Each structure stands twice: as structure tokens, then as C-alpha cells.
Structure 1
Amino acid sequence: MSRPARSRRDRHGRGLRGRLVPDGVPLARSRAAQFDDLVLDAVEDLERRWEKELAGVEFAVEDVPWVEHTSPDEVVLDADVLDDGSVPLARVLPAHRDGTREVPPRIVVYRRPLELRAHDRDDLADLVRDVVVDQVAVLLGRDPEEIDPTG
């Protein structure tokens, strides 16, 4: 009795290999890329109103925050960190001098903690916008309602 011939693309019974969706559809983009788009959308909306104040500000996305632990039960967060409990969601890094060069202010948004708090994509978009607005308010020393009156 001989074995039936298998397609080389279906080795070990794992099914066909390759992309399941074509490029160009939203599902083909990674979660990280979709999250980056949400941050960019929020930033672009704010830059229309606060163009001059946000001219030199850098925005960044990191997957997870780096948190300093002093003991297993204690988490130390700097004052410039927006957190939920003891989990950092975003951080403002003010402008500073690094040797001879000036480092511009930076707002860092942490992807995974925000994704875990959102129920769906719309909720995530709202949460990202709220966090970006809050961090811009901290950086500019203003009230979040002043930064985004619609929020």
C-alpha cells in the first residue's frame, strides 16, 4: 500500500503556507502598524490646532514600558509618566541637553498596556487620543480640555 502524494506546500499536514489576506486590506497590517496609525491620527489632529507649540516635539511608540523595580512589591514611576495603577501608559520626556546637542521634547506612548485596556478598535482609538491629549497637556502646561475641547 503506497502513501498518497502530498503537495510540497502542505508538508506535515499544516495546510497551505503563505499570506491569508492580500496586501492593501487593513487585516494585512500588523497590530503595531495599526496602533502607530492611531497615534499619528491623534497627533495630526492636535498639530492642526497647536502647530507652533508642537513644532519640535517628537512622538514615539514603544511596545512596553521599562519600569524600575526597587523590590518585588514596589514599582517606581517618574513624575512624567501617565499610569493606570502602576502600569505606565505614556511618558513625557522634556527637552534637554545631551552633551553638545539639544534633544527635543518627546512623548512616548506604550502600545501593549493601552491595547489590553481597550475593548475594541474604536475604544482603542479613543483611549489613544485621550492619552496623547493628556501628554500634550502635560508638556505644554495646559489643561487637557484646552488642548482638545471636543474630547
Structure 2
Amino acid sequence: MPRSRRVAASRSPRRLARDRHGRGLRSPVTGPHLPLLQTRIDEFDLTVATTATYLRGLWPELEGVVFEVAQAPAEAIHDDHVDRWKVFHDERRITFFRLPIVRFLRLQEGEERDQKLLIESCVYRAVADLLGRDPWELSPGRYRHL
């Protein structure tokens, strides 16, 4: 079973600095005056977290639901589909599998927006499965053009 991480987990201190070969603690690559670099994993986690926060604001039933991100499930490939998320109704927990979601994209250069939309759509579909609703019902009026 893959190790899963909570979406809103804080960064571990060993990722920011460590002592190697007695040279002292290392500083971030970007220096003290620039923000830390954002990796693709960080962007994925941020997209899942912000979409989950938005949906929690609309649906009080999502209070207490745990959103997790894992690399990949142990048994993802089935005859007719590949799991991109897993909903645990009894535990009120949703686990998103980053690799199956991202690997099925066929992105060209500069199409990060499409990746963000795909991740958001996976969050919507997983939450809709948990609540027993249609994904389009989760955010009424959001896609209505004025």
C-alpha cells in the first residue's frame, strides 16, 4: 500500500535544510530573498487543497472529510479503467492518486491550466461520488455565463 500524505500537511524541516558531511545546514536554492521553488507535486497538492476548501464552503456535509494524496494505488489497473481516486464512504476519506491523474494528460508546452482543470474535475467527481450527487450539482451557477 502506498504511503499517503495529507493535503494540508506542513513541510518537514529536513526538506528545507540538512547537515551533510559536516558542512553545516544548507540554505534553500533560491536564497533568503526569493520564495521557495514550487514543484509539480506541490502544485498538485495545492490544487487539490484549494478545490476541496472551495467545496467545503459550499457543502457543510464535507466537514470532517479527509482529502489525501498518494503517488499511486497498489492495484490501479482494472479491465476497463484505471483508478484515479478512491472514496472510502465509511471513513469519510478520499484519496487521490497523483500519477494516474497526471500521466494520462497529453500536455503541450505551457498548458498548466489544462492540468489544473483536470485535477479540479477529479476532485469534483470524487466529492460527487462521496455525496451521491452529480458533479454539476456541486457548484450551481459557477459555470453560468452572464
Distance in 1 (CA, whole Å) between partners of 2:95 and 2:122 is 10
Structure 1 unaligned spans of 5+: 1-17, 69-74, 78-84, 96-103
Distance in 2 (CA, whole Å) between partners of 1:128 and 1:110 is 10
The percentage of aligned residue pairs carrying the same residue is 29
Q: TM-score, normalised by structure 1?
A: 0.63
In structure 2, the residue matched to 1:15 is none
Q: Check 1:88–1:22 CA distance in 2 against 1; reply closer, same or farther (3 A cut).
A: farther
**Of residues 17, 34, 39 in structure 2, which corresponds to 1:30?**
39
Tell me by how many angstroms 1:25 deviates. Answer: 3.7
Q: TM-score, normalised by structure 2?
A: 0.65
Structure 1 residue runs of 4 or more that deviate by more than 2 Å after TM superposition = 18-26, 148-151
The structure, 1 or 2, with the larger RCO (C-alpha pairs under 8 Å, 6+ apart) is 2
In structure 2, the residue matched to 1:146 is 137
Q: Check 1:142–1:87 CA distance in 2 against 1; reply closer, same or farther (3 A cut).
A: same
**Matched residue SS, 1:133:** helix
**Of residues 126, 129, 145 in structure 2, which corresponds to 1:135?**
126
**Matched residue SS, 2:72:** coil
**Matched residue SS, 2:62:** coil
Distance in 1 (CA, whole Å) between partners of 2:127 and 2:28 is 39
Asked if 2 retains the 8 angstrom alpha-carbon contact of 1:133 and 1:148, the reply is: no
Q: 1:12-91 counterparts in 2 under 5 A?
A: 21-22=30-31, 24-25=34-35, 28-50=37-59, 52-67=60-75, 75-76=77-78, 85-91=80-86
Tell me by how many angstroms 1:57 deviates. Answer: 0.6
| Higher share of residues assigned strand | 1
In structure 2, the residue matched to 1:72 is none
Structure 2 unaligned spans of 5+: 1-26
The Cα offsets for residues 54-84 of structure 1, whole Å up to 9 and x where unpaired, read as 011100000112107xxxxxx448xxxxxxx
Tell me by how many angstroms 1:121 deviates. Answer: 1.8
Q: Check 1:34–1:22 CA distance in 2 against 1; reply closer, same or farther (3 A cut).
A: farther
How large is the Cα RMSD of the aligned pairs? 2.4
In structure 2, the residue matched to 1:81 is none
- The count of aligned residue pairs is 111
Letter in 2 for 1:107: I
